[in-house]
Amino acid sequence: MELNFARRFSLILPVIFLLCTAQGHAQWQRVTSLSAASTMLVEMNAEGVLCCVPYGNDGLYISTDGGDSWTHQTDLEDRLIRNVELSRGDLLIHIGDSLFVRDGLYGPLAGISSPRDGKIGTFCTDDAENVYVTLVGNPLTDSVYVSSDRGISWQPLTYKFSDDGKKNALLADAAGNLWSHDLYNVGCFNIDTGQWEKLSGLGFRSSNVPRIFPDDRGHVYINCEKRIVKHDIATNVNHELFAQEPGSYAVLEFWPTAAGPLLLSYRQNSLSRGMLLRSTDEGVSWSVVDSLLPTQLQFIGEYDGWLYCSTWGQILRTADLGMTFEDCTEGLYTQSVSNFEVRGARVHVMAMRYALSDDGGNTWEYPAYGHGLNPNELQVTADGVAYENRGWLRVSYDSLRTWEEPQEMEQLVDLLALDNVVLASFRDSTLRQSVDQGRTWDIVYRGSALIATLISDGMRIFGTMGDRLLMWDDATAGWNTKPLPYQATEWNAELAVNDSVMLFSEGGTLWTTSDRGDNWSELPLSIPGDLLRSLISSTDGKFAAISERTGNPFFQEYEVLLSLDNGESWDIITGNLPERLNMQRGRVPPCLGFTSPSRLLIDVDDRGLYVRDGLTSVETGVPTHPREPVVELWPTQARSRLNARIETRQDVTVRVHDLAGRQWHSFRASAGTGTHRLDISSWPPGQYYLSIEAEDGLLVRSFAVLR
């Protein structure tokens, strides 16, 4: 059983739970001009219809014109889509452990009954409109079933590769043969004998399920992680076409083109660029087509003379076997924006490919590809030089296409790249600077503790060093220190400054100083959360930050904050940001940036970049009414129960209904915080609604049970 949570709240009669949002004020807008999709799954059928599922479960995107334009199926947002295929013009979608069919490309979604009411592991279709599935779980007598009537009846194909159907990949070729393979075996279902025949002599063991490519000449190409093997079915002879050297990093990506040549894409290690190789003699020899690809390519399919492939950041097509590529990402607006950097109106986005805006995020250009970059620590100066902190330093002088690594630059802690000087702190507590674009470095300060944080307001430079504030003193032309009110840690310390005050946050407490660190005073924070993240300031003195609530073991919870009075009071401006702002633990916290005094940018996990204009006034204050209840839902490890953590300021009634209005559970929750366990073992799959009823309002939370 899997649980899929739509984490957005729907407020009905929002009186007591209202966060004082006034009509007519600015809301967050998604930056749809930034086209840098992070593709998780891309499939294409023989008619050239492309289906793309981006990272973050942002629904399904479909292109019927070869990638020139895309439509977004928003009803599949936050659904765990495992695979997509087109059959008889309909869309078959593997969601969770179940199979669904969509009438045409855009019709209603309906479930397909599985054999023995089992959980679907993998599936495929063939040209005869049959559907093949494997089941997950034990015990299993058969692992592959076929249906010719969309799940009304199923017939077993009596062979089992493994006890876990998710490790059985299925493929139906143009000749009507069914292929199946797991981590160790490859087999073909013989139509004449009605039996499975296992290919012998392959001798591979893989951590990934291999990919197979049967042709119409009695051969099958097998891509087994580090090797490419051509198997002659009639003679049962294997020919090795390519093998990586020991210690090589990347999984091979292979494609036998319709025109005859073989293509191969891989990376030698995690830091290298992608290579594209081509063979015109069945793998006897290989020539390099391109050795400076942004990453290795993942081949999708061929249609109308085009070969389609994808990278982490985009979908590409080529008509000349990789000599040149066209971008098919226009209109595919979902991005995995890991982080970004703001320098005035210039915005550098570190997504799956590097993007640059010179007008505060309105228009974008893509001077290079960003795959493989450290999303937290990429800084690009006005002269176009890029500095990347990986725990050591890498520098690029050609728009991130190639990289150099200065010597003796290991154990890097923090990096501050200004337009005329670059500063870096190290684990030996030294501060070093470079005035020649990172080529040579000099020690300018030896600290008494780790220098964890470096910031600049354009004129001054500050840092945190244990319980000391480090700063450059213009009067003495040297580095001075003053006491900090609390020990600064490497991961939680935040420092920001405007023309009037400096703010320092550590451990959930906020301090301010108006005399450059001589005296500090604590500021009361009447906001939800345990930590402050991404503390920044604008050129006109505003402060913005992210508050983080750390109590949920499965999800982080964030609010976006704004202060117009030097941190004395804070306003919640989270507003209409999507619930993906509250993301799974272990991910990079959201990043904030002012591109002008009235414009604020934020990255929302896999939903991309959002912008908010009109910050000259604030529409939401620290709420005078009680804050809406906090609801957290997560399954137990056995998936038979659902934990519901409810935090409320008054007694409430909690009910769970399905789409038909049937009540499945109800209980009374007292004021305060409590965790309640719901037995869902007997609940059928479907959409459910958890409602919290209070005296003056109703809050509804939806979730889905998938089997």
* 545's tokens: 């930050």
Kindly report the number of other CB atoms within 10 A of residue 82's CB atom.
20
pLDDT tens by residue, 460-481: 889 999 999 999 876 667 889 9
Rounded to whole angstroms, the Cα distance separating 608 from 602 reads 9
Residue 624 is predicted with a pLDDT of: 32
pLDDT(377) > 80: no
What's at 627, amino acid-wise?
R
Nearest C-alpha neighbor of 662 from the set 644, 683, 678, 645: 683
Q: Is 489 exposed, middle or buried (0-12, 13-18, 19+ CB in 10 A)?
A: middle
Q: Return the higher-pLDDT residue of 623 and 49.
A: 49
pLDDT(411) > 90: no
Worst-scoring range by mean pLDDT, 85-89, 292-296, 493-497, 516-520?
292-296
Q: Is 459 exposed, middle or buried (0-12, 13-18, 19+ CB in 10 A)?
A: exposed
Residue 224 is predicted with a pLDDT of: 74
pLDDT(282) > 80: yes
Half-sphere exposure of 368 (CA within 13 A, CB side): 21
Residue 214 is predicted with a pLDDT of: 84
Residue 510 is predicted with a pLDDT of: 92
Rounded to whole angstroms, the Cα distance separating 555 from 683 reads 24
Q: Return the higher-pLDDT residue of 142 and 47.
A: 47
Q: Is 264 exposed, middle or buried (0-12, 13-18, 19+ CB in 10 A)?
A: buried
* 286's tokens: 């290989």
Nearest C-alpha neighbor of 428 from the set 403, 454, 409, 447: 447
Share of the chain above pLDDT 70, in %: 74
Worst-scoring range by mean pLDDT, 9-23, 284-298, 659-673, 692-706?
9-23
Q: Which phi and psi angles does 580 have, rounded to 5°?
A: -65, -10
- Average pLDDT rounded to a whole number, residues 231-241: 84
Residue 262 is predicted with a pLDDT of: 92
Max mean pLDDT among 219-233, 268-282, 508-522, 614-628 falls in: 508-522
| pLDDT grade for 56, boundaries at 50, 70 and 90 | low
* β-sheet bridge partners, residue 42: 52
Concatenated DSSP letters for 436-457? STTSS-EEEEE-SS-EEEEEE-
pLDDT tens by residue, 27-47: 888 776 665 555 567 888 878
Q: Which residues contact 513 (CB under 8 A, 6 or more apart)?
A: 501, 502, 504, 519, 520, 521
Share of the chain above pLDDT 90, in %: 14
Rounded to whole angstroms, the Cα distance separating 350 from 353 reads 7
Worst-scoring range by mean pLDDT, 19-33, 219-233, 299-313, 392-406?
19-33
| pLDDT grade for 505, boundaries at 50, 70 and 90 | very high
Residue 167 is predicted with a pLDDT of: 56
Pairing of strands 672-679, 686-693: unpaired
Rounded to whole angstroms, the Cα distance separating 385 from 491 reads 27
Rounded to whole angstroms, the Cα distance separating 505 from 493 reads 6
Q: Is 581 helix (H, G, I), strand (E, B) or coil?
A: helix
Residues in the chain: 707
Residue 183 is predicted with a pLDDT of: 65
- Average pLDDT rounded to a whole number, residues 149-170: 70
pLDDT(372) > 50: no
- Average pLDDT rounded to a whole number, residues 599-605: 84
**Under 8 Å between Cβ of 342 and 349:** no
**Under 8 Å between Cβ of 105 and 147:** no
Worst-scoring range by mean pLDDT, 13-27, 70-84, 257-271?
13-27
Q: Which residues contact 162 (CB under 8 A, 6 or more apart)?
A: 143, 168, 182, 183
Residue 370 is predicted with a pLDDT of: 45
Q: Is 89 helix (H, G, I), strand (E, B) or coil?
A: coil
* β-sheet bridge partners, residue 290: 276
Concatenated DSSP letters for 26-72? ---EE-TT---B-EEEEEE-TT--EEEEETTTEEEEEESSTTS--EE
pLDDT(354) > 80: no
Nearest C-alpha neighbor of 707 from the set 117, 168, 153, 142: 117
Does the domain made of 630-705 have the CATH classification 2.60.40.1930?
yes
**Under 8 Å between Cβ of 416 and 457:** no
Domain ranges of the chain: 244-332, 334-372+528-616, 630-705
Residue 24 is predicted with a pLDDT of: 36
Residue 205 is predicted with a pLDDT of: 60
Residue 127 is predicted with a pLDDT of: 79
